Chains A and B, each alone.
Chain A
Amino acid sequence: METVQFFNLVPWVVFLPLIGLTVNLLVGRKLGEIFAGSFASLATGLAFVVSILLAVSLSSHPEAVTIPLGDWITIGTLTVRWAFRVDTLSVVMMLVVSGVGTLIHIYSIGYMHNDVRHNGDTGRYARFFIFLNLFIAAMMILVSADNFLMMFVGWEGVGLCSYLLIGFWFEKGKNGTGNAEAAKKAFITNRIGDFGLLIAMFLIFVNFGTFQFDEVFKQAGQVAAVKPGVMLLITLFMLLGVTGKSAQLPLYVWLPDAMAGPTPVSALIHAATMVTAGVYLVARSSIFYALVPTAQTVVMWVGAATALFAATIALGQYDIKKVLAYSTISQLGFMVAAVGMGATVAGMFHLVTHAFFKGLLFLAAGSVIQGVERGMHHANHASHDFDPQDMRQMGGLRKQTPLTFRVYLIGALALSGIAPLAGFFSKDEILVSAWQTQPAIFIVLVLAAFLTAFYMGRQLTMVFFGEPRTEAAEKASESPLVVTLPLMILALLSVLGGVLNLPGVHTLETWLSHTLGEGEPGHFVWVVAGISLVLALIGLGLAWMIYSRKTDKAYVDPLKRALGSLFTGMENKWWVDELYAAIILNPYRAFAQFMADPVDLGVIDRIGGGLAAGTRALAESIRKLQNGYIRSYALLMLLGLAAIMTYLFLR
Chain B
Amino acid sequence: MIPIAYPLVLAVILFCMGIVGFLLRKNAIVIFMCLELMFNAANLVFITFANHYQVIDGQVFVVFVMTVAAAEVAVGLALMVTIFRTKQSIDIDQMNSLKG
A and B touch in the complex (CB under 8 A): yes
Contact of A638 among B23, B98, B99, B100 (CB under 8 A): B23
**Which residues from A are CB-within-8-Å of B93?**
629, 631
Determine if A630 and B19 form an interchain contact, defined as CB atoms under 8 angstroms apart. Answer: no
In the complex formed, the residue of A with least CB distance to B98 is: A628
**Which residues from B are CB-within-8-Å of A628?**
95-100
The yes or no answer to A634 lying at the interface (CB within 8 A) is yes
B38-80 at interface with A (beta carbon < 8 Å): none
Determine if B96 and A635 form an interchain contact, defined as CB atoms under 8 angstroms apart. Answer: no
The yes or no answer to A586 lying at the interface (CB within 8 A) is no
The yes or no answer to A294 lying at the interface (CB within 8 A) is no
- Known interface pairs A623-B100, A626-B100. Does A638 touch B19 (Cβ–Cβ under 8 Å)? yes
In the complex formed, the residue of A with least CB distance to B93 is: A629
The yes or no answer to A3 lying at the interface (CB within 8 A) is no
Residues 585-626 of A, flagged 1 when their CB comes within 8 A of B and 0 if not, give 000000000000000000000000000000000000001001
The yes or no answer to A627 lying at the interface (CB within 8 A) is yes
In the complex formed, the residue of B with least CB distance to A641 is: B19
**Which residues from B are CB-within-8-Å of A630?**
92, 95
Determine if A626 and B99 form an interchain contact, defined as CB atoms under 8 angstroms apart. Answer: yes
- In the docked arrangement, what's the CA distance between A634 and B21, Å? 11
Determine if A631 and B23 form an interchain contact, defined as CB atoms under 8 angstroms apart. Answer: yes
B1-60 at interface with A (beta carbon < 8 Å): 19, 22-24
Residue total for A at the interface (Cβ-Cβ under 8 A): 10
Of the listed residues A628, A634, A638, the one surrounded by the most CB atoms of chain B closer than 10 A to its CB is A628
Dominant secondary structure of chain A at its interface with chain B? helix
- Residue pairs across A and B with CB atoms within 8 Å: the count is 26
- In the docked arrangement, what's the CA distance between A634 and B31, Å? 12
Determine if A631 and B97 form an interchain contact, defined as CB atoms under 8 angstroms apart. Answer: no
Contact of A631 among B92, B99, B100 (CB under 8 A): B92
Determine if A635 and B98 form an interchain contact, defined as CB atoms under 8 angstroms apart. Answer: no
- In the docked arrangement, what's the CA distance between A623 and B100, Å? 5
**Which residues from A are CB-within-8-Å of B92?**
629-631
- In the docked arrangement, what's the CA distance between A630 and B19, Å? 13
Residues 306-331 of A, flagged 1 when their CB comes within 8 A of B and 0 if not, give 00000000000000000000000000
**Which residues from A are CB-within-8-Å of B100?**
623, 626, 628
- In the docked arrangement, what's the CA distance between A447 and B75, Å? 114
Contact of B23 among A626, A627, A634 (CB under 8 A): A634
Shortest CB–CB separation between residue B79 and chain A, in angstroms? 13
**Which residues from A are CB-within-8-Å of B23?**
631, 634-635, 638
- In the docked arrangement, what's the CA distance between A638 and B22, Å? 11
**Which residues from B are CB-within-8-Å of A623?**
100
Residues 81-98 of B, flagged 1 when their CB comes within 8 A of A and 0 if not, give 000000000001101111
Shortest CB–CB separation between residue A638 and chain B, in angstroms? 6
**Which residues from A are CB-within-8-Å of B19?**
638
A142-159 at interface with B (beta carbon < 8 Å): none
Shortest CB–CB separation between residue B98 and chain A, in angstroms? 6
- In the docked arrangement, what's the CA distance between A626 and B98, Å? 9
**Which residues from B are CB-within-8-Å of A629?**
92-93, 96
- In the docked arrangement, what's the CA distance between A597 and B25, Å? 58
In the complex formed, the residue of A with least CB distance to B22 is: A634
**Which residues from B are CB-within-8-Å of A631?**
22-24, 92-93
Shortest CB–CB separation between residue B90 and chain A, in angstroms? 12
- In the docked arrangement, what's the CA distance between A626 and B96, Å? 10
In the complex formed, the residue of B with least CB distance to A630 is: B92
- In the docked arrangement, what's the CA distance between A627 and B95, Å? 11
- In the docked arrangement, what's the CA distance between A631 and B93, Å? 8
> Top 6 closest A-B pairs, CB basis?
A628-B99, A628-B96, A630-B92, A629-B96, A627-B99, A631-B23
List 13 additional A-B contacts (Cβ < 8 Å) besides A629-B96, A631-B22. A627-B96, A627-B99, A628-B96, A628-B97, A628-B98, A628-B100, A629-B92, A630-B92, A631-B23, A631-B24, A635-B23, A638-B19, A638-B23
| Chain B contacts to A: CB under 8 angstroms | 19, 22-24, 92-93, 95-100
26 of the cross-chain contacts (CB-CB < 8 Å) are A623-B100, A626-B99, A626-B100, A627-B96, A627-B99, A628-B95, A628-B96, A628-B97, A628-B98, A628-B99, A628-B100, A629-B92, A629-B93, A629-B96, A630-B92, A630-B95, A631-B22, A631-B23, A631-B24, A631-B92, A631-B93, A634-B22, A634-B23, A635-B23, A638-B19, A638-B23
